[in-house]
Amino acid sequence: MFKNNKLIQFNILLIVFAFFFSSIFTPVMVFADENSTTNVAQEDSENTSTNVESTNNTSSSSSDSGGNNSPEINSHNANDNWTLDYTTEFDNYYVFDNLNRSQLYKKNELIEREDPLALNILISLLAIETLEINTPITISNETAMKSAQENLSNIILNAGSKYEVQFLVYATLFYDSKAALEALTLSLSKSVESFQTLVNSRLRNLNMDNSKLIIEDNVSNIKLLTNSQDMGSLITAAYTNTLFKKIFTSSNEIYISPLEDQNRPLYLRNRMDFVWTWTRNEITGALSASNGNSTSFAYIFPGDSYSIYMLQNINYKDENNDISRIFNNSIIEANSLHNEISSKFIRTVLVQRGDYFDTIALSNGVQVELIYLSTAYYLKPTFISEIVPQISLKMKDPINLPITAGESLGNITMVLPNGDSFSAEVGSSIDIYSQNNVIENLLSTISENENIVRLIYALAIVLLLVILIEIIMILFRRFLYNKSNKLKK
Segment 403-425 shows an average pLDDT of 84
Among residues 321, 345, 369, the one where a domain terminates is 345
Alpha carbon distances (Å) from 312 to 116, 343, 346, 433, 437: 12, 21, 23, 57, 58
* Half-sphere exposure at residue 402, Cβ-oriented, CA atoms within 13 angstroms: 13
More reliable by pLDDT, 422 or 250:
250
Q: Is the model's pLDDT at 368 over the cut of 70?
A: yes
65 in Cβ contact with 58 (< 8 Å) = yes
Q: Is the model's pLDDT at 64 over the cut of 80?
A: no
Same domain, 122 and 215: yes
In a domain, 454, yes or no: no
Same domain, 110 and 219: yes
Segment 288-310 shows an average pLDDT of 89
In a domain, 399, yes or no: yes
For 406: left if phi > 0, alpha if psi spans -120 to 50, otherwise beta; the answer is left
d(CA 212, CA 112): 10
- Could you tell me the pLDDT band of residue 84, with boundaries at 50, 70 and 90? confident
Segment 451-473 shows an average pLDDT of 86
Q: What is the DSSP letter of 157?
A: P
| Among 392, 391, 376, 387, CA closest to 418 | 387
Same domain, 393 and 419: yes
Q: How far does the chain reach from its first CA to its final CA, in angstroms? A: 29
Q: Is the model's pLDDT at 426 over the cut of 50?
A: yes
pLDDT, tens digit (0-9, with 9 covering 90-100), for 157-191: 999 999 999 999 999 999 999 999 999 999 998 78
Same domain, 245 and 384: no
pLDDT, tens digit (0-9, with 9 covering 90-100), for 273-296: 999 999 998 899 999 999 888 899
Helix axes 178-188, 116-130, angle to 10 degrees: 40
pLDDT, tens digit (0-9, with 9 covering 90-100), for 192-239: 888 999 999 999 999 999 999 999 878 888 999 999 999 999 999 999
In a domain, 286, yes or no: yes
Q: Is the model's pLDDT at 60 over the cut of 60?
A: no
Same domain, 128 and 274: yes
Query: Cα 142 to the chain's mean position, in Å?
Result: 45
Among residues 345, 374, 397, the one where a domain terminates is 345
In a domain, 263, yes or no: yes
Same domain, 211 and 326: yes
Same domain, 331 and 424: no
Angle, alpha carbons 477-480-482 (nearest 5°):
110
Look up the CATH number of the domain holding residue 173.
3.40.710.10
Same domain, 172 and 98: yes
424 in Cβ contact with 373 (< 8 Å) = yes
In a domain, 80, yes or no: no
Q: Is the model's pLDDT at 11 over the cut of 80?
A: no
Segment 433-455 shows an average pLDDT of 65
Alpha carbon distances (Å) from 156 to 85, 180, 484: 45, 9, 118
Same domain, 202 and 289: yes
Average pLDDT, the chain: 79
Q: Is the model's pLDDT at 49 over the cut of 80?
A: no
In a domain, 322, yes or no: yes
Among residues 299, 316, 345, the one where a domain terminates is 345
Q: Is the model's pLDDT at 143 over the cut of 60?
A: yes
In a domain, 264, yes or no: yes
Q: Is the model's pLDDT at 262 over the cut of 60?
A: yes
Range of the domain at 295: 93-345
d(CA 138, CA 164): 9
Alpha carbon distances (Å) from 174 to 129, 178, 322: 19, 11, 20
Question: How many domains in the chain?
Answer: 2
- Could you tell me the pLDDT band of residue 99, with boundaries at 50, 70 and 90? confident
Q: What are phi and psi of 375, to 5 degrees?
A: -105, 135
Same domain, 372 and 295: no
In a domain, 457, yes or no: no
73 in Cβ contact with 388 (< 8 Å) = yes
Segment 421-441 shows an average pLDDT of 72
Q: Residue type for 325, please?
A: R
pLDDT cut 90: percent of the chain above it = 37
Q: CB-based contacts of 243: which residues, under 8 Å, 6+ apart?
A: 128, 133, 166, 169
Same domain, 277 and 379: no
Same domain, 236 and 290: yes
Looking at residue 56, its pLDDT comes to 42
